[in-house]
Amino acid sequence: MIRRILLVLLGLILIGGAAYIASSFIKNRQLPAPRERKVVTSVFTQTVENQDVPITISTNGTLQAKYRMQLFSEVQGVFDHSDGEFKPGEAYKKGSVLMEINSAEHRASLRSQKSNLFNQIVLLLPDLRLDFPEAFPGWEKYVNEFDLEARVKSLPEPQSEKEKLFIMGRNIQSAYYSVKNLEERLDKYVIKAPYYGVLIEALVTPGSLIRSGQQLGTFINPTTYELEVPVNVSYADMLRVGHKVNLHNLERTKNYKGSIIRINKIVDQATQTVQVFILVQANDLREGMYLEADLEAREEQNAYEIDRKLLVNQNEVYYVRDSTLEVARVDPVHYKEGTVVIKGLEDGTRILARPVPGAYQGMLVQVLDEISQAD
């Protein structure tokens, strides 16, 4: 029994001694001091070079043909002939017949009036020979050259006031102007193309009965267009008629050159904009096409243009000084679609060329490369 107790006590002493020795080793062990890790971020920079930056206004609108004609009939009759098919998309040369309305009835009435005028002048000749012998040769020549199928010529000029009253008393001038009126109306039976163009709308077909005042279609010149765009009233005074304008389509795959031809003087109360009209000419344009315009309003002096993503808190940018990021306050003077024009930076300042995720003032950086503004 005593031996068992001694063995237990000896075991406890050994375990306690081992624990004490292990604790002493742990306390006396010297651990190396932790090293501070320095994280350096690689960045791209650009050097500020202030200059005169053109302020460009981006706006958009749809094309409308500058030379556009709504076709209406001033006479009545059957649609008889056209030099084309008179359908949308049909092209016509300048001077070609867009539409000819049957005028047989009107021509018969015109011939009747011409015949009446001729008979009245013939009956006038004997009296002229007796009362106005000096005027007779002129009227005789007029009768001899009278042609029922040609346009009536102007009447001989009276050589005295007495002769003039004598001619008017025989209703010669009244009959003459009746003929002229019918001749002018005869021209309205034929509608000719005033310029090269395309029929974009056709409301009648050959053989149709055309009534006076009826709309027939729409005819445009397909090479010359106007682009109507809204411009903020604050920039309106900076634009001038004749200013050149850069235009492009939505995909920016095609570029065009235009010029301002008109500036409206009224301000839209709802949008506070002024309508500006731009002339543009190209063979691949279409009416109704959507175009964007870049209008150069003015130049901002001593300014610099950067990517809008580089702007922090609306009026700050990061720049590099001694491998450390610092914050500089700037003055944004004009925002564009993807860039912003700023002022307030000194020439030679190295600002970030690309945004850095998680950037903060005092961040350690390593400049990888210098990027020019053009890049």
CA distances for 375 relative to 58, 294, 353, angstroms: 22, 21, 9
Mean pLDDT of 45-55: 88
Residue that is last in its domain, among 271, 300, 329: 300
- Per cent of the chain over pLDDT 90 is 47
Query: Which residues, at least 6 apart from 159, have a Cβ–Cβ distance to it below 8 Å?
Result: 132, 134, 135
Q: Which residue range forms the structural domain that includes residue 337?
A: 43-53+301-370
Residues 91 and 118 in one domain: no
CATH number assigned to the domain comprising residue 270 = 2.40.30.170
Rg, the chain, Cα only = 46
pLDDT at 26 (0 to 100): 62
Beta bridge partners of 92: 197
Residues 179 and 195 in one domain: no
- Report if residue 308 sits inside a domain: yes
CA 275 to chain CA mean position, Å? 11
Residues 193 and 231 in one domain: no
The model's pLDDT over 318-373, given as tens digits with 9 standing for 90+, comes to 999 888 889 999 999 888 778 889 998 999 899 888 888 888 888 888 888 666 65
Residues 94 and 195 in one domain: yes
Mean pLDDT of 147-155: 90
- Report if residue 29 sits inside a domain: no
Residues 144 and 254 in one domain: no
CATH number assigned to the domain comprising residue 212 = 2.40.50.100
pLDDT at 27 (0 to 100): 61
- Report if residue 85 sits inside a domain: yes
pLDDT at 226 (0 to 100): 96
**Is pLDDT of 82 > 70?**
yes
- Report if residue 4 sits inside a domain: no
Residues 215 and 72 in one domain: yes
| Nearest Cα to Cα of residue 366 among 39, 50, 22 | 39
What mean pLDDT, rounded, does the chain reach? Answer: 87
CA 217 to chain CA mean position, Å? 25
> Residue type for 134, please?
E
Q: How many domains does the chain have?
A: 4
- Report if residue 314 sits inside a domain: yes
Residues 71 and 216 in one domain: yes
DSSP string, 37-88: PPP-EEEEEEE---EEEEEEEEEEEEEEESSEEEEE-SS-EEEEE-SS--ST
Residues 80 and 193 in one domain: yes
**Is pLDDT of 193 > 80?**
yes
- Report if residue 324 sits inside a domain: yes
Residues 78 and 214 in one domain: yes
CA 65 to chain CA mean position, Å? 11
Residues 202 and 342 in one domain: no
CATH number assigned to the domain comprising residue 356 = 2.40.420.20
- Report if residue 148 sits inside a domain: yes
Degrees, nearest 5: CA angle 204-205-206: 130
The model's pLDDT over 123-139, given as tens digits with 9 standing for 90+, comes to 988 888 888 888 889 99
The model's pLDDT over 219-260, given as tens digits with 9 standing for 90+, comes to 999 999 999 999 988 788 788 898 889 999 988 899 999 999
Residues 200 and 252 in one domain: no
- Report if residue 159 sits inside a domain: yes
pLDDT at 148 (0 to 100): 87
Q: How confident is the model at residue 4 (pLDDT cuts 50, 70, 90)?
A: low
pTM summary value = 0.68
Residue that is last in its domain, among 245, 271, 300: 300
Residues 95 and 195 in one domain: yes
Beta bridge partners of 278: 227, 260
How far apart, in whole angstroms, are the C-alpha atoms of residue 330 and residue 316? Answer: 6
**Is pLDDT of 103 > 60?**
yes
Residue that is last in its domain, among 265, 300, 335: 300
pLDDT at 323 (0 to 100): 86
Q: How confident is the model at residue 1 (pLDDT cuts 50, 70, 90)?
A: low
pLDDT at 168 (0 to 100): 87
Helices (H), the chain: 2-28, 104-131, 136-144, 161-169, 172-187, 233-236
